[in-house]
Amino acid sequence: MHSQTGVEIPGITANPRVVDVVQPLIDRVQDLIREKNVSYDEWHQAIHFMMDLANSGEMPLLMDVFFEATVDAVASAASASSTTAIEGPYYVPGAPMLEPPCVMPQRPDEPGEPLVFSGTVKTPDGKPIVGALLDVWHSDATVPGTYSNIHPGQPAFNLRGRLQTDEQGRFELRTIRPAPYRIPDQGPTGRLLNALGRHSWRPAHVHVKLTADGYQPLTTQLYFQGDGFLDSDVASAVKDDLILALEPAGSNGGSHLTLRYDFQLAPTNH
């Protein structure tokens, strides 16, 4: 049965999920056009905006800015793992595998304060997970930060690396402190944010994707206390328990910041 006309039309196969989700979306946009008296001029501007968006390649960026945090909230509600966060558009598979002592791939003159990121990966009842794989990526320390493989100017896979937990479920990665990141403001996403009266910054963050055999995968981000954009993240993705203190530390005459986090992975349901 055609959902709007009530007429049976041969050759049409309704997808019940599309009917359930997309039809109300269409209905709401139609309501909004009436409620806000959208004009033909605005209608044409909307079409041009969407064509610009598709041509610019910014579709994943715009979707992540406006909607991924909500998808993450729905997905994480059912999980017993530690706190999740959005992946964002800049994950690149195949980062170099690092061996202890793990040092993030970086330029010889990589700017930024040295940072040692360490912690554990355990089950919800506290058993270490040996050989869990952490895929870590973050921006560089220039302000605004940029990502290798995405923005020009860095070698491929700079500040991207994979490492595994040891026999006690521990990991340690030597890297640099990333800077706050700014959504490109010359493209359609930036223009829309500007028209909405919103800035285009994300607080500095470290991305982690965690996988281990027999456990549910986890994607998250860690933020730093004191960052000026924690309360106004353009992607609305900050969660309080992912905001961590960066503690100063020194050893062997050198000094660095430390970032510590203990992850939990829930077993897969059989």
- Give residues 158-187 in contact with ligand BEZ (rule: CB under 6 A): 181, 183
Considering only 162, 202, 209, 256, the residue that binds ligand BEZ (CB under 6 A) is 202
Quote the least distance from Cβ 173 to ligand BEZ, whole Å. Answer: 18
Q: Is residue 161 part of the contact set for Fe ion (CB under 5 A)?
A: no
Stretch that binds ligand BEZ, among 30-38, 59-67, 110-118, 261-269 (CB under 6 A): 59-67
- Give residues 72-101 in contact with Fe ion (rule: CB under 5 A): 88
Q: Is residue 89 part of the contact set for ligand BEZ (CB under 6 A)?
A: yes
Name which of ligand BEZ, Fe ion, none residue 112 binds, using a CB cut-off of 5 to 8 Å depending on partner kind. none
Stretch that binds ligand BEZ, among 22-30, 83-91, 99-107, 212-220 (CB under 6 A): 83-91
Nearer to ligand BEZ, 141 or 183 (CB): 183
Residue indicated by tokens 């964002």: 88
Residues that bind ligand BEZ in the complex, under the rule CB under 6 A: 61, 64-65, 86, 88-90, 181, 183, 202, 235
